[in-house]
Structure 1
Amino acid sequence: MHTVDHLESLCAQAWPALAEVRLGDWSMRAADGFTGRANSTLTCGDPGMPIPDALAATVGFAREHGIKPTAHVVNASSSERAIRDAGWTVDLDHPGGAESLVMTGPLEKFADGVAESRDLPGWWDMTAGSEVTAAQRHVLGSSENVCFASLIEDGTVIAAVRGAVVEDILHVARLAVRPSHRRKGLARQLMGELAGWGVQQGATTCALQVAEHNEAAIRLYEELGCTEHHRYRYWVPAVS
């Protein structure tokens, strides 16, 4: 069983930011605004200084990199209590949702086939959009052991997902199916093939970070045998 802090660390390694600066156990991250995870300070552990000073450093780092000062905070953690006491508030306006679940499950339960990693233009179009930025390419493609998995029909990518293995964890993200091909079991098929790839790389457990409002994705992952491990929220400085 992974501790919350260890699992958060593995997920962060699987989702590398363009810029990252350590602050004790904390990690300040920036990637030109591409995803909250890559543009926030992960607050697990001890920052090595008083929390108000660490939050001031977080604000300075964010301003230096042109992003919104944001803290990625595990629910009910000691960091959350201290960050609340310092006057920060939950970012209810966060575009991806203020709160997310981290779900885990054994790969052997749903591994079916082995995904081929194909760095195709259609894969990027599905997962990042038609204009792929340097930040997107870095976050999605620079992990040491990454898989660009997709399903193709008549030369067109119809479903895509990104996986990265860190230690024994397969981190899964950016699962997408074209609207014209939904409700046909393609997401489940693709997840099975990605799980098979992860097993080949030595992973035993999948980890997914999914917004609490994404009920369809949560149901899919539950059907695959995943359960909630913990939750985190994004916190921002209170408006003065």
Structure 2
Amino acid sequence: MNARERLETTCSRAWPPLVEEPLGEWCLRWADGFTGRANSALAVGDPGRPVGDALRAACDFAHDRGIAPMVQVVRDSPNEHAIATAGWVPATGHGAGHEVAVLTAPLGNRHFPVEVPPPGGRFPVRVPDEPVPGWWELVLRPGEDSPAARQVLAGGKIGYGIAEVDGRTAGVVRAALVDDWLHVGRLEVAPAFRRRGLASALMGAVGAWGAEHGADRAVLQVAEGNSGALALYAGLGYAPHHRYRYWVPAPGSCEDSTS
């Protein structure tokens, strides 16, 4: 695998599905429909068979578990070209956005401070090792709360960043440790507390937490269409690493061969 594909594997480990099966170096994933990352085939590296056969195996895996077949693949990679040649199409209907930017930043630089805001400061932020009810209330978006979602979000070594203002949950973020990487996701600030610098305070807090636990680099994944988030992360020192896209079979081209 190249550096882009290795980082995709790292990110996948930070966002663990409920079921995963290897397909050569590819990985088939299922999490009862919660997020595309946990319910798609990660098409990086060599699947150990022709790509057309690998895509048929991905279709069967998805059909057997009641989800729509989909693959996640590094943009402009040989695997993506092979998937397009096999007749699959970009998943433009994917609700969260079918093209995603992967951004990275070193921890501890001037843009991404490791100092936690002081307890008596304007935005006290803490990073407990266990999720609290207020964290779940904000990190789970409408219609997402399910046992599968909670298992994915709590899988691995996680820092549960939370900011509370006047007894209310004002913002949350999820930070997962994988080797020397800190994977940051699910940054959410309640509408009443936006545009006050709280997102940056949350990012600084989980950056400190990650550095304290041995991480020296941070990575996050954000939809290309999310201009506000892209601007925020650029201001914190994140730089583009690569992009990935979701692909789906053309209509009628992915029948369940096991039925």
Answer yes or no: is the 8 Å Cα contact 1:167–1:203 preserved in 2. Answer: yes
**How far, CA to CA, are the matches of 1:97 and 1:9 in structure 2?**
20
Query: Match of 2:187, as an amino acid?
Result: L
Q: Distance in 1 between matches of 2:17 and 2:177?
A: 16
Match of 1:134 among 147, 150, 154: 147
Moved more, 25-34 or 130-139: 130-139
* 1:151 alignment partner in structure 2: 163
Distance 1:132 1:113 in 2: 32
Q: Tell whether the 8 Å contact from 1:100 to 1:212 is kept in structure 2 after alignment.
A: yes
Q: CA deviation at 1:121?
A: 1.0
**Mapped partners of 1:78, 1:216: distance in 2:** 31
TM-score, normalised with respect to structure 2: 0.89
Q: 1:213 corresponds to which residue?
A: 225
Q: How does 1:4-23 map to 2 (within 5 A)?
A: 4-23=4-23
Do the aligned residues in 2 keep the contact of 1:159 with 1:186 (CA within 8 Å)?
yes
Contact 2:170 2:190 in 1 (8 A): yes
Shift of 1:202: 0.5
Ranges in structure 2 where 5+ consecutive residues have no aligned partner: 117-125, 253-259
* Structure whose CA Rg is larger: 2
Q: Take 1:127 and 1:116, find their aligned partners in 2: how far apart are those partners?
A: 14
SS in 1 for 2:218: strand
Deviation at 1:23, TM superposition (A): 0.2
Structure 1 residue runs of 5 or longer lacking an equivalent are none
Instruction: Look up the match of 1:116.
Output: 127
Give the aligned partner of residue 88 of structure 2: 88
Structure 2: how far apart are the matches of 1:90 and 1:28?
18
In structure 2, the residue matched to 1:75 is: 75
Task: Tell me the TM-score normalised to structure 1 length.
Answer: 0.96
1:111 shift after superposition: 2.5
Could you say what the CA RMSD is over the residues aligned between the two structures, in angstroms?
1.2
Displacement after TM superposition at 1:116 (Å): 2.1
Q: Matches of 1:73 and 1:183 in 2, distance apart?
A: 34
Q: Is the 8 A contact 1:104 1:206 kept in 2?
A: yes
Matching of residues 169-184 of structure 1 within 5 Å: 169-184=181-196
User: Does 1:229 pair with 2:231?
Assistant: no
Higher helix share: 1
Tell me what 1:56 maps to: 56
- Contact (CA 8 Å) 2:107, 2:114: kept in 1 or not? no
Secondary structure of 2:214's counterpart equals coil
- Matches of 2:5 and 2:248 in 1, distance apart? 21
The alignment-based identity, stated in percent, is: 47
Matches of 1:156 and 1:180 in 2, distance apart?
10
- CA-to-aligned-CA distance 1:8-60 (integer Å, 9 cap, x gap): 11100000001100000000001111111001000000000111110000000
**Residue equivalent to 2:206:** 194
The offset of 1:113, in angstroms, is 2.8
The answer to whether the 8 Å contact 1:111/1:194 transfers is no
Deviations 1:206-235 (A, max 9, x none): 100000011111111111111110000000
Measured after TM superposition, the shift of residue 137 of structure 1 is 1.2
Counterpart amino acid of residue 116 in structure 1: V
Contact 1:42–1:71 under 8 Å retained in 2: yes
CA distance in structure 2 between the partners assigned to 1:156 and 1:148 by the alignment: 16
